[in-house]
Amino acid sequence: MKAERTVRISKYLAKHLRHQPERIGLTLDPHGWAGVEDLLRAAAAHGFPFSREELAEVVASNDKRRYVLDAEHDRIRASQGHSVPVELDLPAVPPPEWLYHGTVSRFVAAIRAEGLRPMNRHAVHLSPDRGTATRVGARRGRPVVLPVAAGAMHRDGHSFRVSENGVWLAEAVPPAYIRFA
């Protein structure tokens, strides 16, 4: 499959498995799963047909492993990044001492005042390394990487989860745990 088609399908999945399933008449279960047959049918009915084989290829080749196919139940979900309410049932796990948040300078004053907030998503997204955080920030402009004292937060009673694709998730990060340059 051409890279361009792979990206188009991946973006289509992000839109409908994370944000607007209702737009194509799809229903996610409370844990974010959609039946593969339902998804293929809904996409075709709404003018964007793709095959089961293409879907499997997009999931397998995805650079961030954004989607998981559950063969046993023939269903699919996004691993993180939702704005619709879903319970991903991720266990709380102790984080590494430092995690990194990629953003841009225009948000830094607000973050300094109120800390990191999930904004439209369910959770604040944190990366295990600076390189990944730099790429996340670069989606919006010149990236600014903010180190987060995750170990200290955890010792103070904040819980962390990690998605199936290695994104660390926190409900919020108070400014005291963020190292501003």
Binding residues for ligand HQG, per CB under 6 A?
A: 14, 64, 66, 81, 103, 107, 110-111, 114, 116-117, 119-121, 125, 136, 140, 167
Residue closer to ligand HQG by CB (options 13, 24) is 13
Residue closer to ligand HQG by CB (options 94, 141) is 141
Residue closer to ligand HQG by CB (options 25, 145) is 145
Cβ contact 95:151 at 8 Å: yes
3-state secondary structure at position 126: strand
Residue closer to ligand HQG by CB (options 73, 106) is 106
Q: How many other β-carbons are positioned within 10 Å of the β-carbon of residue 156? A: 11
User: In angstroms, what CA-CA distances link 92 with 48, 163, 171?
Assistant: 37, 10, 12
User: Measured between alpha carbons, how far is 129 from 151 in angstroms, rounded to an integer?
Assistant: 14
Q: How many other β-carbons are positioned within 10 Å of the β-carbon of residue 8? A: 14
Q: How many other β-carbons are positioned within 10 Å of the β-carbon of residue 132? A: 18
Residue closer to ligand HQG by CB (options 36, 144) is 144
Closest to 10 (Cα-Cα) out of 58, 69, 77: 58
Q: How many other β-carbons are positioned within 10 Å of the β-carbon of residue 26? A: 18
- What single-letter DSSP state applies at residue 32? S
